[in-house]
Structure 1
Amino acid sequence: MEIFNHNANINFLGMRKFSVGIAILLMIASIALIAVKGLNYGLDFTGGVSLVVDFEQPVQIGEVRDALEKGGMEHAIVQSLGGTREVSIRLQPKDDPASGVANGGKVNLDRIAEDVTRTLQAARPDARLKSRDYVGSAVGEELRSDGIIAAIVVVLGIGLYLGIRFEWRFAVAAIATEAHDALVTVGIFALMQREFDLTVLASVLAVIGYSINDKVVVFDRVRELFRLARKAEPEEILNRSINNTLSRTIITALFTAITMAALYFFGGPVVHGFAITMLIGILIGTLSSIFVASPILLWLGVSKQDLMPKTKDNPELARRP
């Protein structure tokens, strides 16, 4: 199944100054947005009130969420707890005197629990508060730092793997493009001020994994063509590699995007952040695989000699039959 001719000769490398220039500008803009506007961290990172509510009769998550929104609790996170009668509710207390958190005051957990229970019982009289707790912001700060470390470890681990499997130039190109993909994805969240929670963080890590898969396919074709070609001009080989894998790249991106769109429209609000992040990351990762990774390889001076087996240079291997 092909969208584009396998032997097409689109000159992607001819646009390298323009494409890489845009990529650099997007990275700078993303860093500026994150530094100036910041991210709209969700309850997972900022802390908040956690409640467990039990119902005598089965209840839908959407029903609970609608009841809370009508009561003025618009950003509550509602999740089912393994059944149809028990739900978890997490929300950020408002900064007002009624909630007890104005001017740096402590959270009035009893008042918040009463407000939530009263709001739910107005819609469902069978609602009963089962437990309540408050999670401080220190836990959120730890999660944030752990998430950043996880992203860095993933990118460096991928670079190490590519350096072993291919050659160090491929590792540098992969790390640079993965940093671009992750930064621009997070930068869009800073621009839109969409809620950034653990689900979104997980999807950013998934974006990194998805994006590197595209690049490995192109890198594999680069190595194969370099070894097969008698006269291997780097720019020609890189262009052919992108053209040969273009249909596969677009088809993979298209069907993954369709899956994420279905998840967004039918999966409910809980997975909206994951689906949107993946859709943004798929677009950015696909474009960087086509327009950014190969120009970096070209500028780093990748050549046929770098990818040929080094048996003659190794006396131990040369003696083997």
Structure 2
Amino acid sequence: MRSEYDEKKFNFVKASKPFFIFSIAITLLGILFLSVFGLNYGIDFRSGTSVDISISKPIDKETTEKFLSEHSFGDHSLTTSSNRLSIRFKDPLNEQQEKQFKTDFSKQLDDKASYEVNIVDADIAKEQQRNALIGMAVASLGIILYITIRFEWRFAVAAVIALLHDAFIVISLFSIFRWQVNLPFIVAVLTIIGYSTNDTVVIFDRIRENLRFAKLKTPADVALLVNRSIWQTLTRSINTVITVLLAAAALFIFGSESIRLFSLAMIIGLLSGAYSSIFIASPLWLLLRGKSVPNKKTAKAPSAS
């Protein structure tokens, strides 16, 4: 089955071992950081107050920090941009404190500033945490059922491990670098799961189609078939990822502060999903097959549209 043409091409299956090791290392590091430090939750998942201020003139971070320390509004974090300040207070501000904050800021720093205030209490924060976890679990279960019905259980297991790997890579890096986790982050993770699954299913569908017509005698023939299938879908996968990656990068560079971490999560997840579909999902399916040669019944399912 092997030809001179195959010998000249990069062998994705053979090269998958370093990627397995890298992914396992990142996963273990992520588990360690999550166990010790957890995630840096934003106010969407813990009680507090978010104040986003659109300013009419430049105000540096030092000036804003001085203002906040003088007025004792409580523990906070501050991010700045050319025309926007984002302040996150650990404790919810009451109505009087919110009014006082706006009055003092307008009087001392910018009388033309506009404010967007969001307050989340502890009960709402816990409910949003729970709903976010339920949403991710339901999405994963739906994907498992879809791929199991459309393909076979080995494809389903490999695809779900790959998509969970992509989600956990993003979660791990956000824990390691203490980037803030909020509702847009959950949206980014769910979007990443969708893109990762789409790329993986495209490769799996090509593997299934090639299985229908291939004459397989040894496990090496199956590995070669997987490698050919990856090459046949590689251009499509690269074009899809680059298109979305450019959009996410543009949002990260030119977008507002409120969507920057969403864009960062998307960039990390897209890059992770691009290599996991190739170096994790497909070789993992091959590993689950063991040394058996697939029979024709496995490959006679209808083709994906």
Taking the TM superposition and a 5 Å limit, the aligned residue runs for 1:9-24 are 9-24=9-24
Note if contact 2:54-2:113 (Cα within 8 Å) is conserved in structure 1. Answer: no
Cα distance between partner residues in 2 of 1:300 and 1:16: 14
Taking the TM superposition and a 5 Å limit, the aligned residue runs for 1:104-253 are 109-125=95-111, 134-231=119-216, 233-253=221-241
The 3 A distance-change label for structure 1 pair 212 and 310 is: closer
Name stretches of at least 5 consecutive residues in structure 1 with no aligned partner: 53-59, 79-86, 94-100, 312-321
- Residue 45 of structure 2 is matched in structure 1 by 45
Q: Secondary structure at the match of 2:283?
A: helix
Note if contact 2:26-2:169 (Cα within 8 Å) is conserved in structure 1. Answer: yes
Q: Compute the RMSD of aligned alpha carbons.
A: 3.3
Cα distance between partner residues in 1 of 2:120 and 2:273: 35
Name stretches of at least 5 consecutive residues in structure 2 with no aligned partner: 69-75
- Return the TM-score normalized by structure 2: 0.80
Shift of 1:146: 1.3
- Residue 73 of structure 2 is matched in structure 1 by none
Counting matched residue pairs gives: 280
Query: Which amino acid letter does the alignment assign opposite residue 16 of structure 2?
Result: R
Query: Which amino acid letter does the alignment assign opposite residue 207 of structure 1?
Result: I
The 3 A distance-change label for structure 1 pair 177 and 7 is: same
Cα distance between partner residues in 2 of 1:300 and 1:265: 41
Note if contact 1:68-1:120 (Cα within 8 Å) is conserved in structure 2. Answer: no
With 217-226 and 8-17 compared, the bigger mean Cα shift is at 8-17
Percent of aligned positions that are identical: 33
- Residue 303 of structure 1 is matched in structure 2 by 294
Note if contact 2:56-2:112 (Cα within 8 Å) is conserved in structure 1. Answer: no
- Residue 283 of structure 1 is matched in structure 2 by 271
With 295-304 and 285-294 compared, the bigger mean Cα shift is at 295-304
Shift of 1:67: 8.1
Query: Structure 1, residues 94-128: CA drift from partner, whole Å, max 9, x if none?
Result: xxxxxxx6xxxx85552353123311343443568
Cα distance between partner residues in 2 of 1:132 and 1:213: 38
Query: Structure 1, residues 146-187: CA drift from partner, whole Å, max 9, x if none?
Result: 111211211121111111111111100011111111111100
Note if contact 2:144-2:160 (Cα within 8 Å) is conserved in structure 1. Answer: yes
Shift of 1:298: 0.6
- Return the TM-score normalized by structure 1: 0.76
Shift of 1:19: 2.4
Query: Which amino acid letter does the alignment assign opposite residue 215 of structure 2?
Result: R
